[in-house]
Structures are given as structure tokens and as C-alpha cells.
Amino acid sequence: MSALVVEVDGRVLRLEGKQVYRIGRAIEADVVLTAGSVSRQHAELQASDYGWVLVDNGSQFGTYVDDERVTEYPIERRVTVRCGPPAPGATLAIIPAEEYDVAAATPVAPAAPPATPSSPAAPSYVVDEATRPPFPVAPAPSMPPSMPPSMPPSMPPPATPPMGTPSPWAPPAGVPVPSAPAPGARPAAAPGLPPAISGNDATQILAMPRPSGPPGAGPAPRTGPDLLLVAEGREHRFRHPTPITVGRRSDCTVVIGDPACSRVHGRIDPVPGGWTYTNLSNEGTFHDGRRVTTTRFDERLGLRLGHPVAGPELTLVPILSAAEEERRIARRRLGRRLAILGGIAAALLLVAGAIGVAFLVGRDEPVRRDGGGTDVLEAAKAATVKITADSHSLDDPSSTGTYHGSGSIIRSDGLILTNAHVAEPEAPGLAEKYGDEVRIANPDYLLISLTDGMTDTNAPAAYRARVVEADGNLDAAVVQIYAQADGKPLDGKLDLPTVPIGSSGDLRAGDSVKVLGFPAVAGDGKSITVTTGVISTVLDDPDLGPRSELDTDARIAPGNSGGMAINEDGELIGIPTSLFADEGSTVTSGRIRSIDTVKDLIEKAEAETD
């Protein structure tokens, strides 16, 4: 398949090597257009057996080739494409590479001197990168004849309909057409190019103010990451260092219509390496319910304007390059992992954090592999999963990290039993049960890793799961797999190995028990562990009723939380939940939530997911 050349916003892009190229306003598009009326995924260039085809993706305002609206259009020659109404940043030219290369190699005659304009020309726009907003610069001088013909113009002008053809974007008869603002002047209404369109989730792409300095001088150099600002469902992108104001006044950089917002509510100033938000309102700005006066940020920051709960949301996201973002995430995961540990009366939650608080009581007991016990144990291991999640501290949202626990597959379509403090750390009742020394937020989703039966290690995360039911008083939760690990839909119906649910009602002291899970003692939970022991005693929790908790001498460590406790028949009899130590004693014992205590929760979750 031959290549294509695209001219857009003063840039020349050569497209080759892929079957599909996306055109739109989304930052991940292959060809990024900046007009607010362009849809995020507006159109595509698709390779077919007969050549390249331009395909409209059902955009709201349509795709036009030479001013005619099209759904599909074969690219056989140079064409001018407009996405939506005529506007800066809505037009591109698509040329077959052969045609472009021939034209580039053909000498051109000197250009005629430009006619003297009767009125000042509006500034042209250039984009220095595909993902950066346009900024106005002084009109470029005429191209000298000696300049290579392959050099693109600053920006192709928007296509206009032929004479006598009514434009679908023309105003009704009798409605005065507003005059164009003087070069560099701010529009009288909400800023942005173009103004917001009712009913469209338009992204406002704001131009950087004209830099001061001699004519033709470039923009001020970047000294930090660019900024993505989201307000009232719209995205605004700013190039660092652009000062930004937020408020109800029409001359603010970002205009917010919510009456809870003050006329000039806040200011966002660029600083080396990041940005600073300053509150300018008597009503206040709030972050996680706390009033903010001035705060510096170099990663995502969510604010409420005028009210800690009901005020309009303002989200500020510094935009780093993909490589920088990956490095920052890696540093954060290595340097600031959460230890999900704490409690009262020496009780410890068993979620493994990277700080590595664990109680090493001894080596795992060897597992017998003779007779039918091998098959029972192998089946139980196959149904044990590792659960991983990213979260942050509720007391300090900048303190983020990754934690992990364990779970048991109880239904083949991906229904999993685990602890509430693994799946939903904010579940009501957990703080009362274990204390609130360490409080973390509910994760957006849980990553599920299956057990590799050949190596007894957890495979890379395969699925995402969400909470179906959680009870903080029981410290139990049921989650359901709903997507692949990358968020894509599942490929058909799941058929996962499961563990049969037994009964804890007849258990007695001295009965055998095996505990399975992914504790941190096994290389940060990389391998499944199996520990054996006996039921030391059956306990009555005053809040949960008789026989609701089992005490065992089988080793339990952080990371076992939510895993599997089975009897000799391989039946699930409980959930490893916590460690307990008598005050003043170094001896610890493991606590298992009895399976009979959580059966009502399981039945409720099964009914909701049938």
C-alpha cells in the first residue's frame, strides 16, 4: 500500500506502515485537529484493496471533501478535507505520496507579489507538535523562489464553498455577521477557538498569547509540562508557560457558568517544572474537602470551586511525554508503596504493601503429593487468584501506591470471594473493626492474576474486576470479572476453575486446614504459598455471632488476605483475614472468617450477577 502525505496546521505528516489512521481532536489521534467543532474521533483513513479511503466516523458535524459532505471517499489525488464547519484547525490536505513527491521535485515559478490587504490580516496559527495547542505568530514573509517547494505553508486556509453555493454554516438572512476581532484581540464571549457548540462535547483549544519581543520572535520556551484543564465537561489545553484565570467573567481564560464559581475564582501560574493554583475567591477552593489557598502541583489535581462537595469540579492534569509518565509511575511504585497495615489490639489486616511488614514465623510446611490429596490441592491452587490495585491515602492523596491481596474463584464466570479491606477499603465498618490509622481510597478497579499451574507463580494480570457486594463488618466482599486487564471487553464467556464451598459449622479444634494465597513473603506475592496447620479454636465474634471466626496455627502473612482456607476435601471453609497477638506477647495467630458467616453475602452477590 502506497503512503499518504497530510498537510495540517503548517505540518507535513507522512503516513505509512499502518492500515488505519485516526483523524480527530483526541490527543491520541494520528492526525490531531484543534478546532472545537471537530469530534474526538472524527474520521479515519483506511487501507483497502483498492487504495486509501477516507471514512467519516459518524461525527456530529460531518466530513467534507472539496466542500461536499461525504461518508466515504477514495483518495486518488490531492484533496482538501474539512472536519465540521469552517474554522481554524478544522482543515487538512491529503495527498498520495507519489503525487506529493513529484510536486516536490518540480521547480515552481516565483510567486506573484501579494495584494495589499484592505484590512489587517488575522494571525496565522502554527502547531509545534501534533498534541500541542496552536499559538498565534506574526504572518510569515512571502516564500522566496529559492525556497524548496516541499516546504508547507503556515496553514492551509479553510475551504470555502463555490460562488453562488449557500454555505450550511452561513447565518440566517437578516442576522448581522459579527466583525472579526483585531489581530491578537480576545473574543468578547468565552475564550477559545472556536466558541463552544451547544450539545457537543467540544474541547476548547486555547491559543497561547502572542509572545512579547521583536516581530517574528517565537513563543517563550517551555520550562515545564503543558496542562490539560477539564471544567464543565470540556477539555482545555495550555502550553507551558501560559498564565490562566478561571471564573464566571467572560474575560477569564476559562469561563465557568456555574453560579457557585466566583467572577474571578482562581489563577493558575506556570512555575519551573510544574504549575501553581491560587484561590482568588472569598467562597474558597477545596481539595478533598479541605480549603486550598495556594498549592503547587506536578500531577493530577482535582478541585471544587465555591463548595467542598457541590461546587463545580476543576481537574488539572500536567501533560508529560509518554516516556516521562512511565518513568514517574515506575518511581512512584518503587518508592512509595502503601503498607495496608494497622489496627487496634495488635490486630493486623493482611493486605501486602511494598513496605514489607510481615511476620516470618518459619518456613512453609512441605505439601504431601501422594494419593488423591495432590489433585485436591492442585484444584485449589488453580482457583486461587492474586488481586492487585492502585490507590492513595485518604489523608494525603499525594501518597499513592500499589497493594495486593488474594481471592478465591467461586463461580466459573469470574465471581471471586475476598476480604472487604482488599476490594473496598472504604467499606463501612472496617475502620471500627481495625482502626483508622491507615486509610486508603477505594481503587478504580481490581486486577486479577491467575495461578500458573506449571510454576505455582501468578501469571501477568489477565482481568479487571469490580465490587458486587462488600460488608465491612464481616470484612468480606464478592467481586466480578468484567473486562480484560487493559480494559477491553471479554472475549466470550469465561470458564475458570473454581473451589467448592464447604461448611464451617462442624469444624472442631484439631481439624486440619490449608491456607493458600499470595503473601509478600513469597517475593512480593509472586508465588502462591500453601501452609498447613490445624484449627486451634473456634471463636464467637460478639458482633457476628457464634462460630464466626477460626483461630489457626497455619502461617498467615500480609498478602494472604481474601485467600483460601480449605479442609482435607478441598472445600472452602473460610477466608484468611487477619493476624492477632495478645498485648505484650510476641506470639501471633492467624484468624479466618468462617465461610458460613459470609454465605448470605455470597448468595446476594450471585443473585445480582445472574
Residues 422 and 305 in one domain: no
Residues 421 and 526 in one domain: yes
Question: Helix H segments across 418-487?
Answer: 420-423, 430-434
Residue 346 pLDDT: 33
Instruction: Please give the Cα distance from 233 to 334 (Å, whole number).
Output: 34
- Output 178 or 494, whichever has higher pLDDT: 494
Cell numbers at residue 34, please? Answer: 484543534
Strand-pair category, 564-566 with 545-552: unpaired
pLDDT of residue 570 exceeding 80, the answer is: yes
When pLDDT is cut at 50, 70 and 90, the band that residue 314 belongs to is very high
* Dihedral over alpha carbons 552, 554, 557, 559 (to 10 degrees): -90
What is residue 561's DSSP assignment? T
pLDDT tens track for 411-440: 999 999 999 999 999 999 888 887 766 688
Mean pLDDT over 288-292 rounds to 87
pLDDT above 90 covers a percentage of the chain that reads 36
Q: Classify residue 206: in a domain, yes or no.
A: no
Residues 312 and 380 in one domain: no
Q: What are the beta bridge partners of residue 590?
A: 552, 579
Residue 269 pLDDT: 94
CB 465 within 8 A of CB 410: no
CB 581 within 8 A of CB 568: no
Peptide bond into 171 cis (omega under 30): no
C-alpha 377, offset from chain centre: 38
Q: Which domain holds residue 488?
A: 375-609
Give the end of a domain, one of 104, 136, 170: 104
Rounded to the nearest 5°, which phi and psi values hold at 496? -95, 155
Residue 134 pLDDT: 42
Residue 154 pLDDT: 42
CB 506 within 8 A of CB 496: no
Residues 306 and 380 in one domain: no
Residue 105 pLDDT: 67
pLDDT above 70 covers a percentage of the chain that reads 69
Cell numbers at residue 507, please? Answer: 469444624
Residue 195 pLDDT: 44
pLDDT of residue 477 exceeding 70, the answer is: yes
Residues 468 and 552 in one domain: yes
Mean pLDDT over 191-203 rounds to 39
CB 479 within 8 A of CB 468: yes
Q: Classify residue 430: in a domain, yes or no.
A: yes
If DSSP codes are grouped into helix, strand and coil, which group holds residue 551? strand
CB 401 within 8 A of CB 417: no
Lowest-pLDDT range of 91-105, 308-322, 520-534: 520-534
Q: How many structural domains compose the chain? A: 3
Lowest-pLDDT range of 7-11, 83-87, 163-167, 342-346: 342-346
Residue 14 pLDDT: 87
CB 6 within 8 A of CB 94: yes
Residues 301 and 419 in one domain: no
Compute the 3-state secondary structure of the chain and give helix, strand, coil in percent, each to the nearest 5. Answer: 10, 35, 55
Residues 424 and 496 in one domain: yes
pLDDT tens track for 261-274: 998 999 999 998 88
Q: Classify residue 558: in a domain, yes or no.
A: yes
- Output 27 or 40, whichever has higher pLDDT: 40
CB 561 within 8 A of CB 505: no
Q: Residues with Cβ < 8 Å from 141, sequence gap 6 or more? A: none
Residue 407 pLDDT: 95
Q: What are the beta bridge partners of residue 285?
A: 292, 305
Cell numbers at residue 558, please? Answer: 500480609
Instruction: Please give the Cα distance from 555 to 587 (Å, whole number).
Output: 12
Q: Residues with Cβ < 8 Å from 94, sequence gap 6 or more? A: 4, 5, 6, 45, 54, 75, 78, 79, 81
pLDDT tens track for 103-158: 776 665 555 565 555 545 444 434 333 333 444 444 444 444 333 444 444 444 44
Residues 449 and 535 in one domain: yes
Instruction: Please give the Cα distance from 378 to 469 (Å, whole number).
Output: 28
pLDDT of residue 557 exceeding 60, the answer is: yes
pLDDT of residue 395 exceeding 70, the answer is: yes
**Winning range, highest mean pLDDT, from 1-15, 73-87, 203-217:** 73-87
Full strand arrangement of the beta sheet holding 294-297 = 254-255, 244-247, 266-271, 274-279, 294-297
C-alpha 110, offset from chain centre: 52
Mean pLDDT over 181-193 rounds to 41
* Dihedral over alpha carbons 460, 464, 468, 473 (to 10 degrees): 50
Residues 586 and 440 in one domain: yes
Q: Classify residue 46: in a domain, yes or no.
A: yes
User: For the domain that residue 401 is a member of, what is the CATH number?
Assistant: 2.40.10.120
Residue 355 pLDDT: 32
pLDDT tens track for 493-510: 999 999 999 999 889 999
Residues 508 and 414 in one domain: yes
Other Cβ atoms closer than 10 A to 24: 22
Other Cβ atoms closer than 10 A to 357: 15
Mean pLDDT over 538-548 rounds to 86
pLDDT of residue 175 exceeding 60, the answer is: no
Q: Classify residue 159: in a domain, yes or no.
A: no
User: For the domain that residue 253 is a member of, what is the CATH number?
Assistant: 2.60.200.20
pLDDT of residue 367 exceeding 50, the answer is: no
Q: What are the beta bridge partners of residue 449?
A: 386
Give the end of a domain, one of 319, 336, 364: 319
